Structure 1
Amino acid sequence: MTFPCPQIKSRIIPVPEQNERSSPNRMNGDQKQIRKGALMEQKKMTFDIPYIRLGFYAEMLADTRLPASKVSALRGGMGEMLLRQNCVNDRKCDGCMFHQACPVYRTLYTPMDPKPRYVTGQESVGYLLECSDRSEFMRKGDRLVFHLVLFGESIVYFNLYLQAFALLGMSGLGSARTQFRIAEVRNTEGGKIVSGNHVDMGKYRYSLVSDYIKRRKAELGFCDGKYRLTFTAPLAMKYQKEYMNRFYAEALVKGAARRVQMLNYYIGNDADLPEFSRYPVIRSQTVRKESVKRYSHTQGGPVTLRGISGQVFFQDMPEECLNYLIAGELTHMGKCSSFGFGKYYLEQDRFYLQEK
């Protein structure tokens, strides 16, 4: 049996004519271009990211032994002291009603909303710790120098970081419970912000990553793309879904660009990753595997961090890639950067230039 299809009378509702010039929802050609330009500008990466690199001078209060790699102990100790000083919920972060206002959360991690798609957990891009001193024995009065690099809004939390390291000095660093006092804290230019018990916030001045890039380019000079990149701390980074056991030019450039992108998101600029027309050419490289052991309060036991270090020799360096690799000297690249991983520096490959 078939049923007749009912006839539905359509009703055409006339739309009143609008004057194109007077329509509030219609944009003319100039307005469209302005709108398009604004959207493109919104997604463009910027190097105008505020930062400050602080030098901490910790004076040993007794003869002591320290691990060769000190950043993990400094980072773990700093986190523990921040929790002791500021946590009001018995360290129960899940469901804590004070989560958004928590100073520990805002100093140890980097609130980003929105955030890049590849950021799936809590990232720590607002700060970095660096320490190149690998001596394992220090006498009373010796000074351990380490650096704290702050980016974006993390810059305003200097007092919290300072208090954390001062308390760490009283509590003791590492398994030997090494005690120290913060004798000095210096700014990026070497000016004394802290000297003994005196704090001069007039010397607490931040810079921009873009200014750092300009200065480093002037220092490096023209070398026809012949650069040497040296990792002074292990790099833990994936390339084609596998952790690298050698260096790849594309991975290095994109790794530096991702760090800059995360900092862009941190300062409120949800920028796209740049599309590079070409990448540097690697002439040769040296690679060695490294590992650093640390105790994790979060995981309740020892953790081993692994990566590769060494040198990369370039024979060609596009300008667009050079900017990001120079920025990476400040921002580091790869995973575990808050524990000092991914630190490197660029210089002219003088031996190659002399051979030519």
Structure 2
Amino acid sequence: MFIVSRFSWLSDHHHNLFKGHVVTPAEWQHLRSWRRHLPDFTWTGVLLGYWPWVVYFTLIAVLLGLYHTVLVPRGAPVWPPRNLVTVVYQPFAITLFALALLMVFRTNSSYARWWEARTVWGQVFTVTRNLSRQAGAWIQAEKEAEFQMLVRWCAALGYILEAHITYNRDFGTELQALLRPEELKLLDSWEHQPNCAAEVLSSIVASAVDNAQLRAAMDEHIATYLHDVGACERIQRTCIPYCYTRHTSRFLVIWLTFLPFALWDICGWASPIVEAVIAFLLMGVENIGIQIEEPFHTLPMLSYCKVIAKNSLEVGRQRRGLKCFVADALKTELAFAATGKPHNGFELAKGHNGAQQPSKEYAEDPAVGRGNATGDLESGVPGP
């Protein structure tokens, strides 16, 4: 049991290396610098995912070396024969192109799935922000209860989708903090929880928004959310064709198994080291394709859910203050417009067609267009 638990820990540690996170500005700067090429110790964790195969390939090279060192001097036949070294080497040179092509296609297909999943989550960001924004603008103050309920459910959409595509029926503390117990009970009673959330949102919109066109605009975002849910389900439940994955893996294992026979005559006892390095690199490329094929394991979805909840709840907190600010700002604008002096300090004069035109004094200001204050635009000399 101890050995099994240790292997399980190694496997979990390896998988955790591929879990993504939100990239910070400091990390972007590091990725652009020359220091990104400096070695680190993450390769040891990556090796944990397929170290038995690296050991297997290296052991074959060691056994071949022992055969040539111990048995050949005692009369065992040399394998491969000296006159067939070139013949043995040629199949590896010929099949390397096919192997590389298979692995590139495999990795590209996995990356396309990963990027599609990230794009879908980007649409979920947009849907929740727009739905919250429209609710804040279009739901009247006398229906504050409906507005706050809609904002809470918008904040929960990310967590509901994340739980749905990871087959997690347990409500986390984040979701429990957003929804009331009776709402959680309703959500748990549905087999398809994102559909339940969409139904609740549609009901709130129907109750809180009287204008049919506004309701249709908000319902369009709810429909987009369900479209994104369907896209996530398609990615989660459909893998790259299994025969393609198996053939690539089978090709790689056979190729690396017989590679020591082509290396021995060239590298001698350096063959085990060369074999281990080549196996580590090629198995690593294949492993990347395997890990990112299921993108919801590698994307930082909980971080996305927190941002979605934060943005939606902020609309609920700021709505009253924002409406007061806009009302006061409009009063100020109207007051300045009545005097012909907008609050930016520039005077406007009526043009011949009745439109507001810049006054002669402002139009002739040498700091505008000729750059005395901001720099000479024609010469390119910066201003003071």
The structure where helix makes up a greater share of residues is 2
Answer 1 or 2: higher relative contact order, Cα 8 Å, separation at least 6.
2
TM-score, normalisation: structure 1: 0.23
TM-score, normalisation: structure 2: 0.22
Q: Rg: which structure is higher?
A: 2
The structure where strand makes up a greater share of residues is 1
